[in-house]
Structure 1
Amino acid sequence: MTTVTAPATPRERVAELAAARITALQRGYLDDQSHAVAALARLRRGAGRPAGQLPDLWALIDTGPLHATPDGARPLGESELVRAEDALNVALTLYALHQQSRRTGMHQADRPGRSRGLGASVRRMMTPGEIDGPVHKRLVRAGTALDLIVLAQRLRDIVVLLRREDIELDYGLLAGQLYTWQWPGGADTVRRQWGRSFHAWHPQHAGSHPADGSDSTSTPDTDKDAS
């Protein structure tokens, strides 16, 4: 019997594209490759800002694959493309802020037993068995954002805290959630996912760094982000 694989949904395509682009940038950054260091420096300027405000970032956030039509899939409509582009912009610019001056990759995949979703990452900032009110409030405020611009600004505040604590986040997963957020009823869906991730995380889920270079690569201290 031939198994037919369903084509990726628009959300899955956004998540896969974000993860692929960020993984490539992360490897380059940790290897101190000048093009990646410069790209992240430019992307950081867009963190928390609307996608259209900085046209010079358009070349860095390549949405070309979204315009292609994979086998068995349909072309994305205009409204889908706009939402996908905005989700990618928020995810990549937040990642660039998160990675600044960090010696290990701040983008890491969410896996069973190794949660890296937004809720779990926020919970990791707290003392095991306790809920830090101010930190939890930031997650709640993000969940109550009325539009993507406000959401991006509130996520930026969370990312600054995650960066300070060297806590990783799955930016592919986040990009897909940001895409879903923009549709009617999507915010409720994403809030539930963040809440489930937050409450399901336990210290034993922290896991260890895997052997593959995408998550465990490190680089010596440098002043490459000084500018």
Structure 2
Amino acid sequence: MQAGYRQDAPWAVAAVARLRREAGRDAYASPTAWGLDHLETLNELREARRTAEPEGRDGGIAAPSYFSSAARATQEERERREDTAVHIAVTLWALHQQSLRDEPMHLVGWPLGRAVRRLAHGRTGVRDSEASVDGAGADPAEERVEDAGETVRRRFVRVGTASDTDVFATRLRELVLLLRSARIPLDYALLADQLLLWQDENRRDDVRRAWGRDFHRRHGRPDPAHVDGEGDEAATDSVPADDLA
């Protein structure tokens, strides 16, 4: 969809516009979102998992959720959280990408903490000018976290201290709007995974630690060799899965 939007494909432009209008609304709760396929893909993955599940059990025994109301409730709660995570991530991406054709706003290797740190140091995009290399400007790898802009840092803290999903999504949306203005991307696939974990109070601190770690980590200048000709993907400084384990 991102590639189609950047090429002005009518179907992609229309889909992104609809997704953008759903930012801040619950998944499935708004009839205007019915027909968008971002959650259909998630349901296809679930069906594939359910189809494969009996094959991995002794003699094809059905999943416990078929027999236990408690197991069924647990499954439904997990699916609700999955829906919420994907819906928030995709609608925020649509808001982030709005009217931007020259750069992708979903970019691998740009976790939330990294993007916010760049924003807090007053930088834009993912590429630095040659002045930074020649010494006329600060190398991003040398910028201290203590020098981060206080206004942006406070917004980041507000995201981290949110206690419920609605407040969290609202505060994150405000931050995404600032990132859009600065043309700084986010890794929305990683964000969706983190949003799923964040909804589990027992895993919430794991997500906060990952955000804080990425904010304090000194990220070097992106290597242009990792960005393809269309600028659709970057693999620089990706976050190891162990960060959220």
TM-score, length-normalised on structure 2?
0.70
Report which of the two structures shows the higher radius of gyration computed on alpha carbons. 2
Aligned equivalents of 1:131 and 1:33: distance in 2?
A: 38
Which digits, 9 at most, give the CA deviation of each residue in 1:43-62, with x for residues without a partner?
A: 11121232244222142122
1:146 aligned counterpart, secondary structure: coil
Equivalent of 1:102 in 100, 103, 113? 100
Aligned equivalents of 2:205 and 2:31: distance in 1?
A: 31
Post-superposition offset of 1:121: 0.2
Q: Which has the higher mean CA deviation after the structures are superposed, 57-66 or 82-91?
A: 57-66
- Matched with 2:26 is 50
- Matched with 2:120 is 126
- Matched with 1:153 is 170
The answer as to 2:29 corresponding to 1:30 is no
The answer as to 2:44 corresponding to 1:65 is yes
Moved over 4 A (4+): 71-76
Aligned equivalents of 1:48 and 1:137: distance in 2?
A: 21
Gaps of 5+ in 1: 1-24, 111-115, 217-227
2:120 aligned counterpart, secondary structure: coil
- Matched with 1:166 is 183
Aligned equivalents of 1:189 and 1:65: distance in 2?
A: 28
- Matched with 1:135 is 152
Aligned equivalents of 1:173 and 1:206: distance in 2?
A: 18
Gaps of 5+ in 2: 58-62, 64-73, 122-142, 234-245
2:107 aligned counterpart, secondary structure: coil
CA 94–171 in structure 1, closer or farther in 2 if over 3 Å, else same: same
- Matched with 2:237 is none
- Matched with 1:6 is none
Aligned equivalents of 1:55 and 1:38: distance in 2?
A: 16
- What's the Cα RMSD here? 2.1
Query: 2:113 touches 2:214 (CA, 8 Å); kept in 1?
Result: yes
With a CA cutoff of 8 Å and minimum separation of 6, indicate the structure with the bigger relative contact order.
1
Give the percent of matched residue pairs that are identical in Structure 1 and Structure 2. 44
Post-superposition offset of 1:205: 4.2
Aligned equivalents of 2:221 and 2:76: distance in 1?
A: 40
1:44 aligned counterpart, secondary structure: helix
1:184 aligned counterpart, secondary structure: coil
Post-superposition offset of 1:135: 0.1
Q: Which has the higher mean CA deviation after the structures are superposed, 120-129 or 30-39?
A: 120-129
Residue type of the partner of 1:206?
P
More helix by share: 2
Equivalent of 2:194 in 165, 169, 177? 177
1:2-17 aligned at under 5 Å gives the runs none
Which digits, 9 at most, give the CA deviation of each residue in 1:34-75, with x for residues without a partner?
A: 111001101111212322442221421223224223446797
- Matched with 1:83 is 81
Query: 2:120 touches 2:150 (CA, 8 Å); kept in 1?
Result: no
Size of the aligned set, in residue pairs, is 186
Post-superposition offset of 1:212: 5.8
Equivalent of 1:206 in 222, 233, 236? 222
1:177 aligned counterpart, secondary structure: helix
Which digits, 9 at most, give the CA deviation of each residue in 1:200-224, with x for residues without a partner?
A: 133x2434351264616xxxxxxxx
2:228 aligned counterpart, secondary structure: coil
Query: 1:28 touches 1:36 (CA, 8 Å); kept in 2?
Result: yes
2:200 aligned counterpart, secondary structure: coil
1:48 aligned counterpart, secondary structure: coil
